[in-house]
Amino acid sequence: MGLKGNKRFGGGGGQPPAKRQAAGKDGPSEETDDGIVVAQISKNKRVAVRSWNGKVMVDMREFYEKDGKSLPTRKGISLSMDQWKILRDNIEAIDEAIKENT
């Protein structure tokens, strides 16, 4: 039997790094215990920037509510800075492909 749901990302030793407030279109973004929410895509989907194992990650993830807390699911992806830069540099090509397929 597996230990499904017992291990979540984050939770390393030591003190977490100091967090800074990110500003979006509507002003400062929400700050959570494990990162800065940069964009609330929908009710349960968020993009956040966080530090994990000493590296800055861009995390796109679904969340669920339990006992009044918003908790992350396994549905999502964390991009390293190199991966994020590749995605960011290809946004125009992605937009063009979307236009061609709609």
pLDDT per position as a tens digit, 42-90: 999 999 999 989 999 999 999 999 999 999 999 999 999 999 999 999 9
Question: 33: exposed, middle or buried (C-beta count within 10 Å: 0-12, 13-18, 19+)?
Answer: exposed
pLDDT in tens, 10-53: 444 444 444 443 434 444 455 666 678 889 999 999 999 999 89
Q: Is 84 helix (H, G, I), strand (E, B) or coil?
A: helix
- Domain extent listing, the chain: 34-98
Whether residue 31 contacts residue 47, with contact meaning beta carbons closer than 8 Å, is answered with no
Find, among 4, 72, 83, the residue nearest to 44 by Cα.
72
**What does the block give as tokens for 25?**
């279109």
Phi, then psi, of 68 in degrees rounded to 5: 80, 5
Indicate the CATH number for domain 34-98.
Answer: 2.30.31.10
pLDDT value at residue 67: 96
